[in-house]
Amino acid sequence: MRLYRPAPIPGSEITPESAWIMRRDLLRLGAAGGLALAAPSLAFGATELAAKPGGYDPKEPLTPEADVTSINNFYEFGTGKADPAEKSADFKPAPWSVKVDGLVGKPAEFDLDQLMAFELEERVYRMRCVEAWSMVIPWIGFPLSALLDRVEPLGSAKYVAFETVVRPEEMPGQRGVFQPLPWPYVEGLRLDEARHPLTILSLGVYGKTLPNQNGAPVRLVVPWKYGFKGIKSIVRITLTEDEPASTWNKMAPNEYGFYANVNPEVDHPRWSQATENRIGGGGFFGSNDRPTLMFNGYGDEVASLYAGMDLKANF
């Protein structure tokens, strides 16, 4: 039996389609023009985001913002590098909430304001894509360990699993006949990797909140691993006892390992990982190729995590 019957809507009250469309455009305009005076977490698109200097800077030239926000791998919006920037306008990164559960003492949900309330730092990290190109990016975010501390992982927790949002209506790569990957996109880290001070949850880049194509509103950044480990638009973080699945590893286990540490000595079966192309200007004849560094140059900080491990077998 239906207890509640909504009142029928008289035809005279239905918003004409033209007005509805105009309103959508106005909203979009407002967001783009910085008209949104509400809290940053409520605004669409990139807005200013304050952060203190985080003390990480490789002292290499930054990749231009235009490249960082237009050359992306984010298959939820399409497989082309330009697709995420071109096809993510309908994505709504607010409101948002990240559920943290699994082997934790205090499961919790974090909304955007709660995430923004962590102490945000700006950190300049190298980003090495598994496709042998790289960038230098000024992220804004906070150590993942700070969030993990809040939920109090149990002693039995050994791994951290991450999950991207599934919204076919807003993400064109998730709908249609052709689906490049199984959704949701999932990733994982060992708990000690997740707790490492270099591992951050990022909420912004280049002084602003993350644009949709970069994984708005919250993404993972693990600078010593290939870029695909940096899962975007996270909705769930689960602490587990067993090694969680990761999307690319499931797709092609011989090409993408669970660890995916940047390693110039272990080639991808179809291309060399010894060198990388630093994105950003230069044309054909600029020397943008450079040798790839072990652990992407973060060996001093992270090599001890893998002491005694065969990194050729655990690629």
Partner 1 sequence: MGLPALPRRYHPASIWLLYAVGLFPAAWTFYLGATGQLTGNPVKVFEHLLGEWALRFLILTLMISPLRDLAGINWLRYRRALGLLAFWYVVLHFSANMILDKRLAFDVIVEDITKRWFITIGMAALVMLIPLALTSNAWSIRRLGSRWTLLHRLIYPIAALGALHFCLSVKVIGPEQLVYAGLVILLIGWRLVRPRYMAWRRSRRSVNTGLAPAGPRPK
Q: Which is nearer to partner 1, 180 or 197 (CB)?
A: 180
User: What mask, x for binding partner 1 by CB under 8 A, covers residues 78 to 107?
Assistant: -x-x--------------------------
Residue 131 engages partner 1 in binding (rule: CB under 8 A):
yes
Residue 62 engages partner 1 in binding (rule: CB under 8 A):
no
Nearby residues of 63 by Cβ (< 8 Å), 6 or more positions away: 135, 136, 137, 278, 279, 280
Residue 75 engages partner 1 in binding (rule: CB under 8 A):
yes
Considering only 93-101, 102-110, 175-183, 232-240, which stretch makes contact with partner 1 by CB under 8 A? Answer: 175-183
We find the least distance from the C-beta atom of residue 141 to partner 1, in angstroms, to be 24
We find the least distance from the C-beta atom of residue 253 to partner 1, in angstroms, to be 14
Residue 172 engages partner 1 in binding (rule: CB under 8 A):
no
Q: Which is nearer to partner 1, 145 or 288 (CB)?
A: 288
Residue 253 engages partner 1 in binding (rule: CB under 8 A):
no
User: What mask, x for binding partner 1 by CB under 8 A, covers residues 268 to 297?
Assistant: -xxxx----x-x-xxxxxx--x--------
Give DSSP secondary structure letters for the chain: -----PPPPPGGGSPPHHHHHHHHHHHHHHHHTT---S-GGG-SS--B---EE-S----SPPPPHHHHTTS---GGG-SSSSHHHHS-TT----S-EEEEEESBSS-EEEEHHHHHTS--EEEEEEEE-TTSEEEEEEEEEEEHHHHHHHH-B-TT--EEEEEE---TTT-GGGSSS--SSPSSPEEEEEHHHHHSTT-EEEEEETTEEPPGGGTSS-EEE-TTB-GGGS--SEEEEEEESSPPP-HHHHH-TTT--SS-B--TTS-BTTB--SEEEEPSS-TTTS--EEEPPGGGGTHHHHGGGGTT--TTT--
Considering only 66-74, 101-109, 149-157, 185-193, which stretch makes contact with partner 1 by CB under 8 A? Answer: 66-74
We find the least distance from the C-beta atom of residue 286 to partner 1, in angstroms, to be 7
We find the least distance from the C-beta atom of residue 228 to partner 1, in angstroms, to be 9
Please tell me the count of residues contacting partner 1 according to CB under 8 A. Answer: 28
Select the residue interacting with partner 1 from 181, 235, 266, 305 (CB under 8 A): 181
- Using CB under 8 A, list all residues that contact partner 1: 66-67, 70-71, 75, 79, 81, 131, 133, 178, 180-181, 248, 251-252, 269-272, 277, 279, 281-286, 289
